[in-house]
Structure 1
């Protein structure tokens, strides 16, 4: 299985080593999250798994920072851990290796997993956990419940990307609800949000059914 994404190519091919950065101030975080979102889609994982992976990644890097040459390893390991917590059908570890074009090795993922687990409290909350069925039922009838659910998950992913790691997950949840309601009311879809909508297996088909106010 080979799902290596060009969007992340400039990070995996870095030349500088041991560059300490703060992720939420770095353009690399945006590239990593979008790459992880595509991997989540291609693995047919739940959107909540992506949210948990971002939470693990951000809480770790906010406290410890990161080394740029280990950035992809940290991201894919966060998804590896999140899937174990959320998914009933898991990809094999070799799939995680292949998705990095073999840049990351199996033993590196396992070592990083142990390292993250040893230092992480795993008191995890993501925007997805606040979503209840009545939120979907009260929204516009233009879309099915499943479509509205995935639209909200796309807006959550968008606001997770925009977050500076200081915003609460509940605030991101509220922002996602408001943005989804704006879209259903005919407002323009922000360019960066279009990435998440277009790379969701369900929401990529709904834009033609929305009336966009110019």
Structure 2
């Protein structure tokens, strides 16, 4: 495992493709969602005071990250869609709640997965190894190339990630054209009202 700095840096690296997929404004939002779950698996450190859980146990599994992200994505779609549509900074005619669900859930999953990936690269140095594919595969997965207290890895990860984001932020090519595109990037009214089937309710 790396420290918090390293985990945030890894989450930033995982979120970097959002600049190409969604463009500038949406990429910032997507990165924010990823950062929100960058430390999600370490909630086991808090839960240890209330529940019989161990560090690098169930919260450090793919199934936990995915389920928690889906639940949070449902919450975002239900309660944040109207806020996004009312926010002038987003500049979209209307964003469907299904789009908010996909956007939020994908960002949160990437953030959580980045944490698992960083821990696989560094455990076990001061913590037990991960079994990220539990309960489908019950053996630890260990790479162990990073040491927890290494300033080169921790600060290097976040410095490299910030640098990559700054480079991508200056990239002016249009984002990919998908049904989950957010905002009218072309200025020709492409951000039209979605069909009723695209509502997530």
TM-score by length of 2: 0.25
Query: Hey, which of these two has a bigger chunk of helix by percent?
Result: 1
Which one has more relative contact order, counting CA pairs under 8 Å at least 6 apart?
2
* Larger-Rg structure: 2
TM-score by length of 1: 0.24
